[in-house]
Chains A and B, each alone.
Chain A
Amino acid sequence: MRLFGIETEYGITREDLADVDPVVESMELVRAHLTASFERRWDYAGEDPHEDARGFRVSGLAQDREEDDFAKLDAHRPFSFHEMKSDLVLPNGARFYNDHTHPEYSTPECRTLKDIVAHDRAGEYIVRRAAERRNRTLGGTHVQLYKNNTDFHGHSYGCHDNYLVSRAVPFPRMVSGLLPFLVSRQVIAGSGKVGIEAQESGFTPGRFQLSQRADFMETELSVDTMHNRPILNTRDEPHADPKKFRRLHLIIGDANMCEYATALKIGTTRLVLELIERDAAPLLELEQPVAAVKQLSRDIDLKAMVRRKNGQGISVLDIQDQYYQAAVRILAGTDQESDWILKEWGETLRLLRQDRGCLVGKLDWVTKLWLLETFMQEERVGWDDPWLTSLDLEYHNLDPKRGLYLGLEAEGNAWRMTTEADVERALSAGPSDTRGGLRGLCIRRFPDQIKTMQWQRIQFSGGVRPLTLEMGDLFDPSAVARCMDVFNAAESPMDALNEWKRRKDGQS
């Protein structure tokens, strides 16, 4: 079973200020998580967003100029780059920091749907608790956080899902297998949006669509993530042994409030990747995938037909159905989790055709649409009323006293995939079968002896030579368990590294 993880950039605002400084607010929010003094520990040496999975390196990104402009502005601030980033690695193996003026929570690497959903929820709890602490300092509920993807003025921010895949799979096969699936995935994983907008321009109210991100997709493939956004991001930054692995970095997804939608988003994508690896994905080449993303998002009756390259039309549900049928044929019986995904995927597609009211509390766009239509009927307002846009925003508010989704959940009308105990466990430790759990263990056991961290490496301080735990190829669950045993038992990182090396040498 493969690894996956979710990165979520949260929207943040201060309701007591007319002019909000997002750099300061995001930085202060992350720092509010800490009770002790702030300490940076992230090693940026492993990050290079200019490498392209198509086999070349770009000299610059579309966002570089804007980033440079912001860097000039930010240079006048009394903070260093690292202070502004405020990088934290948490005891559960997650990363929490300020990315592009948004508090970002990246889950630890997970291997099961149950873990990824619990860690995604744990992220919500962590940012919410940071906001509560910050608000206590400010003396009011001024800071508000939103798990969404747009400000309704053309500024979007992401929720990226990531998957470890074998580099042996040719990238063109990955592209042809994934594009139609990603174009149509919004029917399950879309969070719904009032209105239509475009990159940093305009907002037209008066229409409900499936997805928050569809309006911001501008090309099929690109290494960019902030401008010229692609359906399939080609950034080649594996955070693992680059000879063996890729990290599929999907930026098209919406942030989900519904746990069920999160599970199906990650689960169905995992199955499609299994199909692609077996060269068994359906061949459904679309004539204009970028136009199709928008067209399908804007048709809440799910009747729109998009053209395939063979000249035939196909609907969003028929695209999904072709992937579902292929997955049933090839993957049924593979393992318990795959069977669960297949059952829920098939049932969801059936309900979308026949009785989607049953999906309230399961899929975000269906839930939001139902809430808004209930409100419109009661208040006798139309889709062009700005109140509806504000209600859309408030659906995603993480304040349990205000958020519309959280209100629905508190009343017992949302489907839960986790218990509160699951989420509490995810707050304190990472998955025991991935390097995310090992990362968290090192944070808990040796907090003062860690010099830097990144996804695939931990560097410890204290020795004459670098003391480094390499995790770029540490994916076998039994190997992870053995390494965790070693770090649990050792007196010091040096003892642990020596013992781990001894055991690995003994095996080879």
Chain B
Amino acid sequence: MRYSSMPERREGPVNPMPKSPGPSEEGGGPRKPESGSPEKDNLLKRMRKVDPKQAERYRQRTGE
């Protein structure tokens, strides 16, 4: 499968993620994306700004 267009608005799961006990009572549960028709242009603009050679320069030492 290939994606050629931005995803449509998606519905969230019926049952929310259970809330944890204790102080973190409000919130929780996966929240569906808020925008109905996402703005593709901003993301493409961001992607076009990436230097094509950036990964070539990126070097790290081996970690765990």
Contact = CB atoms under 8 A, between A and B. Distances in A.
Interface in A320-352: 335-337, 339-340, 343-344, 347
B62 A156 contact: yes
A505 interface: no
B2 A422 contact: no
A390 B50 CA distance: 7
Consensus secondary structure, chain B interface: loop
Contact of A9 (B12, B16, B64): B64
A414 B22 CA distance: 27
Chain A residues touching B, range? 35 or more
B29 to A, nearest CB: 7
B59 A418 contact: no
Interface residues of B, number: 55
A279 to B, nearest CB: 27
Contact of B26 (A408, A421, A433): A421
Contacts of B27: 418-419, 421-422
A41 interface: no
B62 A357 contact: no
Nearest to A403: B46
B52 to A, nearest CB: 4
Given A155-B61, A155-B62, A389 B4 contact: no
Given A339-B15, A356-B1, A412-B34, A393 B28 contact: no
A118 interface: yes
A347 B13 contact: yes
Interface centre among B2, B3, B31, B56 (most CB of A within 10 A): B3
A60 interface: no
B20 to A, nearest CB: 4
Contacts of A113: 17
Contacts of B30: 259-260, 263, 344, 362, 415-417
Contacts of A360: 3, 7
Given A259-B30, A394-B54, 20 more contacts: A22-B60, A66-B62, A70-B61, A100-B61, A101-B60, A102-B63, A151-B58, A151-B59, A200-B62, A225-B64, A374-B44, A375-B47, A385-B52, A386-B55, A387-B50, A404-B43, A411-B39, A415-B31, A417-B17, A421-B26
| The 4 residue pairs across chains A and B that have the minimum distance between CB atoms | A157-B63, A412-B34, A419-B27, A336-B18
28 contacts: A9-B63, A20-B59, A22-B60, A102-B63, A112-B20, A113-B17, A153-B58, A155-B62, A156-B63, A157-B64, A158-B63, A199-B62, A340-B15, A343-B13, A347-B13, A357-B1, A357-B3, A374-B40, A375-B47, A378-B44, A389-B55, A390-B53, A390-B56, A394-B50, A404-B43, A412-B33, A412-B35, A417-B17
